[in-house]
Structure 1
């Protein structure tokens, strides 16, 4: 009876120990690390095998020739007169003669207006008569001195009197000239502010005078463009009436405007036929110095992960790389791009299907930028 009880107790003890061991889960760790490592190795090997077996993208590439191209800076502008001034009287008086009207062409030095001034004319005539008298006196005295009749000391007095008479005539003539208003340069009378016969005080505005040859196209360039444009450079002007003319940059400001932080520029255009008026809207196309660039279709331009604009190229190992570009110009024949290294093989088809560092197959592209081989881009 005691033996039976002992066996029952032993059996229960073994059962309890076994249950506790199973509950701990220690049995599951036996060989588990080895199994997981083997499984991971198998998965990686499968992925590598799958990647090596996957077909590579095929891209079409092109190695364009480099060209020297003038960067074009396009700005809005307006035409204006080369010179503009307001003619004014230099003294007060009644307007005796007004020789111009609006739209008249005048040459430099032409009389525009004359004030009435009979006393000025009389003063000139008096000064002329006095000068003539002093000249005769000096000549007669010289003869007397040469004969020994008059002393030589009188010659100095005669010359002084002669000089004073000349000065008096010059002063009277200057006062007479102040009665007239003359054109300081050739141009067109744009407006007239007075009437003949009216009283004009000193400084009275008489007329506005414009010089339209050359005509000037004026605009403003940005801070970024300031270093590209120089005085003496070429420019093209597209007038709003559809006419295109050529010009030359004559002025680029060295100080930006406080309001817009832009730099005023001026382009002169030949206007000898006076067919270009002042105040006409125009597009000014400024040419910078030539830069090294390539011409490519617009479709080759793409963006990298950071949103930078550029092109994709294929290196010697047939791997894709991204190259940032400088957009120099946009022409009807394509984009003019700078910043591309010499010898670059530029992806012209399939560039949006590949990523940086990707290994690709490469085919040449024709002049149109499409793959020569059918189905080349996958």
Structure 2
């Protein structure tokens, strides 16, 4: 019985002690409450302001063209006896592409040569005859003046000296000589040469068939440089200039390249009212092929060395534009004046300086002087 009473007393004492300890804990805030109070801040991401070059970007599309494209037509028609280059073959300037049958042309050369020689002989004979007639006229005149010959003889000598026109004979000789030289040129033209260095992109002839000077036999292209031509509107043309660098995206070549504006039309096309612009690209490895399509990105409204922040950093509040800078772990509201907005960056004309820490994430959840904690960005 006494043991039960002692156990009961011990239990009462322990319960009383626990209650006192619990009541004593009410004198201060619970640990969880203290922690919540300490964590009363807004997490933000920041970036340090700096000067940038910003611009608006306009995208065009265009087709790639070879820098030079020459269609080869033989000067004279003829039978193809040999082809030296085929599709895809690289050729040098003045190299022989194909040759034509020379037999018929050689016959024409021989015939023209004989005619030229005969005409030359006639010209020389006529020239000597006229010289003799003129010499005879001079002698006859002297005799006539001395009374040694009659007037009739003198007049016959005058007639003989003037009856033959050397100019007409000379013209005939020159004409036959020209025909002979043209026949020789035609013989040379049976070896058809490339006027440029490049690659054969088209072959329309076969050995044994006739090549005509009315249809291209081959096409040669120079791919060391290629160009893309686009057409721009009047509000864009004045933002472009010669040698301006342009980024081109070529999906087919799996490549992004930088080209330069080489030509700017000063006048709009009468049909489209657009201004042609040509962009040249260095292509020494020939990875970019004529006929491929390119996406061209042009920068307009370029602003250089201006303070620019990400567009989302600027918040509209009470009919004004503000950004928040972090100072001493607080968000400080600053009203700004903006300029060019590219959609990615916005120019700050007035309101902040270079080197300030701008809130770029979390800016919509802070107020002026609210406590913030930088969790990401340029701390």
Count of residues in Structure 1 that have an aligned counterpart in Structure 2: 296
CA distance in 2 between partners of 1:65 and 1:284 (Å): 28
Q: Show the counterpart of 1:341.
A: 349
- CA gap 1:219/1:181 in 2 versus in 1, 3 angstroms: same
CA distance in 1 between partners of 2:333 and 2:110 (Å): 98
CA distance in 1 between partners of 2:274 and 2:243 (Å): 20
Residue 96 of structure 1, aligned match among 65, 81, 88: 81
Q: Show the counterpart of 1:47.
A: none
Of the two structures, which has the highest relative contact order with CA contacts closer than 8 Å and spacing of 6 or more?
A: 2
CA distance in 1 between partners of 2:165 and 2:233 (Å): 75
Query: Quick check: 1:297–1:369 contact (8 Å CA) kept in 2?
Result: no
Alignment of 1:135-284 (within 5 A): 135=120, 145=131, 148=135, 155-173=166-184, 181-200=192-211, 203-219=214-230, 225-240=236-251, 241=253, 243-252=255-264, 255=268, 265-284=277-296
Q: Show the counterpart of 1:326.
A: 340
Once the two structures are superposed, residues 165-199 of structure 1 have per-residue CA deviations (whole angstroms, 9 ceiling, x without a partner) of 22322443465566565434332111222211124
SS in 2 for 1:120: helix
Once the two structures are superposed, residues 48-77 of structure 1 have per-residue CA deviations (whole angstroms, 9 ceiling, x without a partner) of xxxxxxxxx9x9999955455566545455
SS in 1 for 2:364: coil
What is the TM-score when the length of structure 1 is the normalising length? 0.57
Unpaired segments ≥5 residues, structure 2: 1-41, 138-160, 326-331
Query: Quick check: 1:299–1:348 contact (8 Å CA) kept in 2?
Result: no
CA distance in 2 between partners of 1:244 and 1:60 (Å): 32
Q: Show the counterpart of 1:296.
A: 309
Residue 125 of structure 1, aligned match among 81, 96, 110: 110
Q: Show the counterpart of 2:90.
A: 105
- CA gap 1:107/1:114 in 2 versus in 1, 3 angstroms: same
- CA gap 1:313/1:138 in 2 versus in 1, 3 angstroms: farther
SS in 1 for 2:104: helix
CA distance in 2 between partners of 1:283 and 1:97 (Å): 43
Alignment of 1:8-23 (within 5 A): none
SS in 2 for 1:203: coil
- CA gap 1:289/1:120 in 2 versus in 1, 3 angstroms: farther
Query: Quick check: 2:229–2:276 contact (8 Å CA) kept in 1?
Result: yes
Query: Quick check: 2:322–2:333 contact (8 Å CA) kept in 1?
Result: no
CA distance in 2 between partners of 1:342 and 1:166 (Å): 84
- CA gap 1:137/1:173 in 2 versus in 1, 3 angstroms: same
What is the TM-score when the length of structure 2 is the normalising length? 0.57
Residue 118 (structure 1) shift:
3.1
CA RMSD between the two structures: 5.0
Residue 274 (structure 1) shift:
3.5
CA distance in 2 between partners of 1:103 and 1:67 (Å): 47
Unpaired segments ≥5 residues, structure 1: 1-56, 373-378
